[in-house]
């Protein structure tokens, strides 16, 4: 029987919410799987046939250490996704690359040097803007800014950053997260923020609901993953594509190839398709 390790982080040692469903789905397919903490020095990574990055939800705070771990693991066994994919996707500058092929929320890069000038240019171009850390997750460090002396800028985390126009529809329509496994869209979760927020995460009062897959959004999600595949040299096995309404059409807000939660507590039916993706990866070895 093949053995798979599902990597999580110390605050969720038993995996993401509903993670037991994924273990059960893999067992039904003849695969022994268990959750392990990614920085646990006692884990024998080489003994596994495959290590799958799942709920490593502290990677952005320990990015250099996390990437070193990934590179170490793939010297001993197969890692899904590999460190090159993780490194590419961890920097939100990838949005500029995707924009050549699919509609993407307009994005500019900000550095410590030239921060004021870059922010002023973005404000002049777009009006109210959102500043995000280039390596970040969970909405941490996201700041809405209306001018260069905006007091909210005191909440900036360490740079570099990306800056984008404030997409007002996020406050009303929210965003749609599309799950793409082996190139096919298998699920959709719609998320809405609490009043006045732009972050849809539950931590900030947001709500989420599994809904039927919308064909138009599915088409864009597949195109975004295909665009990433062209840049990476091979198609990612799994992806979450976050879409927002922008000027009457859907646009990519984020492409997550590192540790997108499966929302198995809301969409338990995703456990089977993800298990199939893991089995396929085992076959590619």
CB proximity list for 2: less than 8 A, separation 6 or greater:
30, 31, 32, 49, 50, 282
Q: Encode pLDDT of 143-192 as tens digits.
A: 888 888 777 777 677 779 999 999 988 888 889 999 999 999 999 999 88
Q: HSE of 61 in the Cβ direction (CA atoms, 13 Å)? A: 8
Local structure of 135: helix, strand or coil: coil
Structure token pair of residue 102: 């699919």
- Where in the chain are the domains? 2-81+272-284, 90-103+170-257, 108-166
Q: What's 90-103+170-257's CATH class?
A: alpha beta
Strand partners, 129: 145, 165
Q: The domain at 108-166 falls in which architecture?
A: 2-Layer Sandwich (3.30)
Strand partners, 82: none
Distance CA 94, CA 213 (A): 25
Local structure of 196: helix, strand or coil: coil
Q: 263 with 240: CB under 8 angstroms?
A: no
Predicted pLDDT of residue 143: 87
Predicted pLDDT of residue 90: 97
Predicted pLDDT of residue 228: 98
Our CA angle for 109, 114, 118, nearest 5°, is 50
pLDDT beneath 50: ranges in the chain: none
Q: Encode pLDDT of 47-76 as tens digits.
A: 999 999 999 999 999 999 999 999 999 999
Residue carrying the six token digits 């320990």: 62
What is the CA 167 to chain-centroid distance, rounded? Answer: 19
Distance CA 235, CA 257 (A): 11
CB proximity list for 103: less than 8 A, separation 6 or greater:
220, 246, 249, 250, 251, 252
CATH among 3.40.50.2300, 3.40.50.1220, 3.40.50.20, 3.40.50.1820 for 2-81+272-284: 3.40.50.20
Residue carrying the six token digits 């609490």: 194
Q: HSE of 162 in the Cβ direction (CA atoms, 13 Å)? A: 20
Distance CA 244, CA 175 (A): 5
Helix (H) or strand (E) holding 229: helix 215-232
Predicted pLDDT of residue 168: 86
């Amino acid at each position: 029987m093949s053995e798979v390790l599902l990597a999580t982080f110390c605050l969720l040692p038993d995996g993401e919410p509903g993670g037991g469903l994924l273990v059960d789905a893999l067992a039904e397919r003849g695969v022994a799987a268990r959750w392990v903490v990614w920085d646990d020095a006692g884990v024998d990574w080489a003994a596994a046939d495959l290590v799958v990055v799942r709920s490593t939800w502290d990677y952005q705070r320990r990015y250099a250490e996390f990437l070193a771990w990934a590179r170490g693991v793939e010297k001993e066994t197969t890692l899904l996704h590999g460190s090159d994919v993780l490194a590419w996707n961890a920097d939100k500058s990838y949005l500029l690359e995707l924009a050549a092929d699919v509609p993407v929320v307009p994005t500019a890069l900000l550095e410590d040097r030239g921060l004021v000038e870059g922010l002023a240019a973005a404000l002049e171009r777009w009006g109210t803007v959102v500043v995000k850390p280039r390596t970040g997750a969970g909405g941490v460090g996201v700041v809405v800014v209306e001018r260069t002396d905006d007091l909210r800028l005191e909440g900036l985390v360490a740079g570099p950053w990306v800056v984008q126009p404030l997409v007002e529809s996020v406050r009303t329509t929210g965003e749609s997260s599309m799950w793409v496994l082996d190139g096919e869209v298998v699920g959709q979760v719609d998320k809405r923020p609490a009043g006045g927020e732009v972050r849809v995460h539950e931590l900030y009062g947001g709500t989420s609901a599994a809904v039927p897959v919308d064909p138009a959004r599915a088409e864009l999600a597949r195109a975004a993953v295909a665009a990433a595949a062209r840049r990476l040299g091979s198609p990612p096995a799994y992806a979450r594509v976050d879409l927002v309404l922008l000027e009457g059409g859907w646009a990519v807000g984020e492409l997550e190839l590192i540790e997108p939660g499966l929302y198995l507590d809301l969409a338990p039916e995703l456990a089977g398709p993800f298990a199939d993706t893991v089995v396929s990866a085992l076959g590619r070895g």
